[in-house]
Structure 1
Amino acid sequence: MQVQTVLGPINPSQLGKTLTHEHLSLDFDFFYKEPPKQLNDLFTNEISLANLGAIRQYPYGSRYNINFGDADTHRNVIEDVLLYKKYGGGTIVENSSHGLKRNLRFLYDVSIGTGVHLIAGTGHYVYNLQSESHLAMSVENMVKLYIDEIKNGVDLNGDGKTFVKCGFIGEVGSVYPIHEFERRAIEATAIAQQELGCAVSFHPGRDSEAPFEIIRLYLEAGGKPEKCVMSHLDRTIFDFDKLLEFAAFGVYCQFDLFGTECSHYQLNPTSYMPSDYQRIENIIKLSKEGFTNRLLMSHDIHTKHRLVGFGGHGYAHIINNVLHRLITYGLNVEQVDQISVVNPADWLSFSLN
């Protein structure tokens, strides 16, 4: 069993502390939301001390902030990944799939330049970010695409010399109710997963029923629960009894918005965004219920303001500010290592033969 990074296969024991849901480069412009009119003059093509507070409240109201693929972003991402390594980070799983304009060339270069293991994803994000050609894909063609990008890789330069192989399928995105294209993508993910034995990761719509519907479709199509991650549960299922019901499926329950401490959720204003304390509380409660080996944590960084260079918490936030709090509030060192090191390695490892 090995883990497939952008630089090639490694032993799972080499991963170290692992973030299982991050982005290093993507296009999030589709999710732009108008900020309050009285604050319009603060949303300029820069982030400064004068407007950082407003951007933290309304991060999707700044087109500059949600441009996560420009030179400013890339320069700061590299510095942030280096900080992550400095503080003990080993691996980052990059979840930009088809529809998010993933940048495999950048991932390859960052991994070489920083020494941090990076794992790239294949699969499809939500339907309304897809091109017409991808929207028309059959389940069979999706399966072929996913398997090809994992087994053979993507030609970075078009010259047949440098290939990056994806190491998992994700993030596979859907809205709610689930669009017909997304149903095909979920089915294709399950079929490819069953054939390869690889890891998969799902992005649910912003409704508490969405994770249940995704898992039902995935399991019916033959996907293995023990290789499946459900992302964003911290902003999706708020009732603990319902969270416990979902955990019983045996999939990985991922709390991946650590560092987001603004309760106003601009992408779903009728709901709210929990705090890090609430995330920690749910992780500890699930651990006490026997699900320690089915828990994962990350930040889902995809906007500039969450990078250290723009005044944010950065990729090292969980290492520096969360892991010790898990111990303070009731977990032991072995349980924290299980969540931050062992679980990611178990999830990501599969036979590459």
Structure 2
Amino acid sequence: MQSDPKSAAGGRAETVMTVLGPLEPAALGYTQTHEHLLADLSGVLGSSQMTSGVYAAGSGPAALDVEFPATVRRRMHEPIRPDNYDWIRRHVTNVDNLRLWDEDEAIEELGHYRLAGGVSLVESTSIGLGRDAEGLRRVSRASGIKVIMGCGFYCQPVGLDQVPREAIRDLILKDLREGVRDTGVRAGIIGEIGLSDPIHPTEAKVLEAACEAQMSSGAALQVHPGRSPESLFDGVDRILATGVDPARLVMCHLDRTLTSPGELERLARTGCYLEFDLFGQESSYYPWSDIDRPNDGTRIDWLGELGEKGFGDRLVIAQDICMRAYFRKYGGPGYSHILENVLPLMRKKGWDAADIRRVTVDNPAALLKNTW
């Protein structure tokens, strides 16, 4: 039940802010902490930053003739079909794949998630990726899934380099406290905030503004790091130097950035949340770096090792579904992949019910709750 509870002392109680309003943390249930329901990633196409992982908004398909050869341009506007599915999974140049803007499709996909046991999820689409506050509210109502919306900037919209840091901070705070524009739909997390490798000066300004908003609001801060370990730790150092409480910080996409136990433990020792959010995605489909991404079994092993070292209360998981080829409708794993395939593998590898609940229920609730 959506509610606005008071604490016993008469002050504001800790709640989770969803697109339908505040929710008691205990009602959050099973939660994947990094997904996309309504988004448009087609701006990556033709961008000069395409290989760095964060993209300047405003380039997009208009620049494609310059960036891609004829054989690629021919296929980039094809609809997703069984005969081109493998090609689309291996190339990030198909426009149909990158545009998640069908609300009915999102509702249908969430039906599988709910049937498998999903209750809530974090929708990490921020400004620059086509965030749709009103659309998310409709999708949440129709699907029954509790949706926590992000805010801040992932891409760099044209002119953002001229916007003062204070204005960016104030926009983030408005999204958290009042809602996006005049919709009344409030964000429940800051992010995902996008960083390149190396960190671009405009990204550094946005990151500083996001940190200021985090410390003012108490909301959790979710950060998409650059694709090298050095860039990730540079981002973490910058964030913690501002005074952000590491217990309010979640670093995303670790399973494409850190590949050694030592690196993972180094990050865990900062006290931040470690997000393994690429379950269902494996190395042969990864176009942006030379890293061999782990399979799901290896991800589970890494999580288990971190838990054994005492970091179990700082682990969260997700699938980062941001392309339609990942939808069940087209033969992909769907949002229910962790529930249907990963959790059984965890049990097979010796995880007990308490271990699983910690990373899928307890930790997300601790991360997302706040005194709004």
| C-alpha contact (below 8 Å) 1:263/1:275 kept by paired residues | no
**Alignment partner for residue 15 of structure 1, among 28, 33, 39?**
28
Partners of 1:300 and 1:175 in 2: CA distance: 18
**Alignment partner for residue 131 of structure 1, among 158, 181, 194?**
158
Aligned length: 339
Partners of 1:47 and 1:222 in 2: CA distance: 46
- In the alignment, structure 1 segments of 5+ residues that lack a partner are none
SS of the residue aligned with 1:20? strand
Instruction: Give the 5 Å matches for 1:279-294.
Output: 279-294=299-314
**Alignment partner for residue 28 of structure 1, among 30, 34, 41?**
41
Instruction: Give the 5 Å matches for 1:64-83.
Output: 64-69=96-101, 71=102, 74-83=103-112
Paired position in structure 2 for 1:146: 172
Partners of 2:129 and 2:83 in 1: CA distance: 30
Q: Which amino acid aligns with 2:220?
A: A
**Alignment partner for residue 57 of structure 1, among 90, 101, 108?**
90
C-alpha RMSD over aligned residues: 1.8
Tell me if 1:316 matches 2:329.
no
| C-alpha contact (below 8 Å) 1:56/1:262 kept by paired residues | no
Partners of 1:125 and 1:54 in 2: CA distance: 27
Paired position in structure 2 for 1:96: 125
SS of the residue aligned with 2:322? coil
Q: Using the TM superposition, name which of 32-41 and 95-104 deviates more.
A: 32-41
| C-alpha contact (below 8 Å) 1:42/1:54 kept by paired residues | no
Q: Which amino acid aligns with 2:165?
A: V
| C-alpha contact (below 8 Å) 1:190/1:224 kept by paired residues | no
Partners of 2:68 and 2:310 in 1: CA distance: 43
**Alignment partner for residue 260 of structure 2, among 225, 236, 239?**
239
Cα–Cα, structure 1 residues 126 and 272, in superposed 2: closer, same or farther, change >3 Å?
Answer: farther
Deviation at 1:35, TM superposition (A): 8.2
**Alignment partner for residue 221 of structure 1, among 242, 263, 269?**
242
Partners of 2:313 and 2:215 in 1: CA distance: 21
| C-alpha contact (below 8 Å) 2:283/2:291 kept by paired residues | no
Paired position in structure 2 for 1:117: 146
Deviation at 1:276, TM superposition (A): 1.4
Paired position in structure 1 for 2:187: 166
Q: Which amino acid aligns with 2:85?
A: L
Partners of 2:257 and 2:185 in 1: CA distance: 33
Paired position in structure 2 for 1:271: 291
| C-alpha contact (below 8 Å) 2:88/2:94 kept by paired residues | yes
Deviation at 1:76, TM superposition (A): 2.0
**Alignment partner for residue 188 of structure 1, among 190, 209, 229?**
209
Partners of 2:172 and 2:84 in 1: CA distance: 41
TM-score calculated relative to the size of structure 1: 0.91
Deviation at 1:99, TM superposition (A): 1.2
Partners of 1:26 and 1:8 in 2: CA distance: 21
Q: Which amino acid aligns with 1:67?
A: R
Paired position in structure 2 for 1:175: 196
Deviation at 1:312, TM superposition (A): 0.6
Partners of 2:17 and 2:76 in 1: CA distance: 40
Cα–Cα, structure 1 residues 193 and 40, in superposed 2: closer, same or farther, change >3 Å?
Answer: closer
Deviations 1:196-254 (A, max 9, x none): 11111000111111221111111111111001100000001112211111111010000
| C-alpha contact (below 8 Å) 1:284/1:330 kept by paired residues | no
Q: Which amino acid aligns with 2:213?
A: A
Q: Which amino acid aligns with 2:138?
A: D
| C-alpha contact (below 8 Å) 1:126/1:175 kept by paired residues | no
| C-alpha contact (below 8 Å) 1:99/1:131 kept by paired residues | no
Q: Which amino acid aligns with 1:321?
A: N
Deviations 1:140-185 (A, max 9, x none): 1121111111111124xx5xxx410111100011101111111112
Q: Which amino acid aligns with 1:143?
A: R
User: Sequence identity of aligned pairs in percent?
Assistant: 35
Partners of 1:110 and 1:314 in 2: CA distance: 16
Partners of 2:31 and 2:210 in 1: CA distance: 23
SS of the residue aligned with 2:229? coil
